[in-house]
Chains A and B, each alone.
Chain A
């Protein structure tokens, strides 16, 4: 019986294949759930909490919770979206996110998710941390001001590139992204510009030098389409499946 292979998301049936998480099944079925640290090519991390949904009334991360038959999942509700807006606002004030002078503006997932959720204010007081830039590498620039600790670069460098160039250090509010070199400088690692780790940053930390403004602001990925639409286009789904 096929009925066992589906759950409901905000009241609508979502089919799934065994082994899929809620977010994988939802995206494949053309249903967007906001997320930042989730990436279709990597094992889920469950740290940003933006994809938190209510599963039969309990708060769960949609990226780590397996889809199960008959569960009732709520995502697009006022209460959950209010929590998501607050999480995004906290990420903004914890770093130094000056969008007008950021090379990634328009391609940034944090910014795009904030647009999509209708975040109009910073709400909290800014921390203005001091996080010096690492421009030591000839091809790659690191601007730590914008790091949201999603660990995608860490996962890509360890799992795909097999280099472990990046790591997190410290705890709580002092937690930060570091470079695995005795000097702490990116130039003293074996990072190559072609590494997967250079391609997965959802914000503007890991930047390729030289081409930052090749596409002008206003014509970029999330300028043209909201992330809720782009994420569905980019979601892996079985051949022949309908797009969103």
Chain B
């Protein structure tokens, strides 16, 4: 009988209003990456530099939603990924960018691009290529359905490894106390 290897799961990852810290932490699984690539292949991701998300089994997204492009990318992931994972504090509750939410957006832009003398005095940027900022920063689950959440700022490589392994094995991901962190 011919031995058939199970199909590799296709994974896409991206960072929206995030700092790529969760992606750096993902790389912290170190040599376990070799085990992972036996099981998965990457679609859109900083690892592959593919620009658009194709049909995938799993999408992993860090960062919240702070502008129109974030909404577009998030929706593209939702349409194409069977399972969508929000990773890190910003994806879960907006995180650091969301700390502008109690401020008026115009006041923020005014402060940074006009009032503050040490910064460029070119005025508030208005190039049509720039994505429009949203009034508030939103966590992912307020825009699309999210299937799983992995908290942490960032979650450790060990937490990510545990989470992904649970998922690949068909278990609901759970983190033991030592891997459970919101900070």
Contacts and interface: CB of A to CB of B under 8 A. Distances in A.
B183 A105 contact: yes
Given A100-B153, A105-B183, A122-B139, 17 more contacts: A96-B102, A98-B93, A98-B99, A99-B89, A99-B153, A100-B95, A101-B99, A105-B182, A116-B177, A120-B173, A121-B141, A122-B141, A126-B139, A128-B94, A128-B98, A223-B181, A226-B177
Contacts of A99: 89, 153, 182-183
Interface in A81-98: 92-93, 96-98
A130 B102 CA distance: 5
30 contacts: A96-B102, A98-B89, A99-B183, A100-B96, A101-B96, A101-B99, A102-B183, A105-B183, A106-B183, A115-B177, A115-B181, A120-B149, A120-B173, A120-B175, A121-B86, A121-B92, A121-B146, A122-B139, A122-B149, A123-B141, A125-B142, A126-B138, A126-B139, A126-B142, A128-B94, A128-B101, A128-B102, A128-B136, A225-B177, A226-B177
B180 interface: yes
Interface residues of B, number: 30
B94 to A, nearest CB: 7
A125 B146 CA distance: 13
A128 B94 CA distance: 10
A122 B183 contact: no
A126 B93 contact: yes
B59 interface: no
B94 A120 contact: no
A98 to B, nearest CB: 6
A4 B92 CA distance: 49
B52 interface: no
A225 B176 CA distance: 11
A217 interface: yes
A116 B174 CA distance: 12
Contacts, number: 74
A223 B167 CA distance: 25
Contacts of B139: 122, 126
B147 to A, nearest CB: 10
Interface residues of A, number: 30
| Most chain B beta carbons < 10 A, residue from A106, A115, A225 | A115
Interface of B: 86, 89, 92-96, 98-99, 101-102, 136, 138-139, 141-142, 146, 148-151, 153, 173-175, 177, 180-183
A18 interface: no
Contact of B151 (A93, A120, A128, A223): A120
Contact of B149 (A114, A121, A125, A131): A121
A122 B124 CA distance: 34
A129 interface: yes
Nearest to A100: B153
| Most chain B beta carbons < 10 A, residue from A96, A126, A217 | A126
A122 B93 contact: yes
Nearest to A132: B102
Contacts of B138: 126
Contacts of A120: 148-151, 173, 175
Nearest to A229: B177
Contacts of A126: 93-94, 98, 138-139, 142
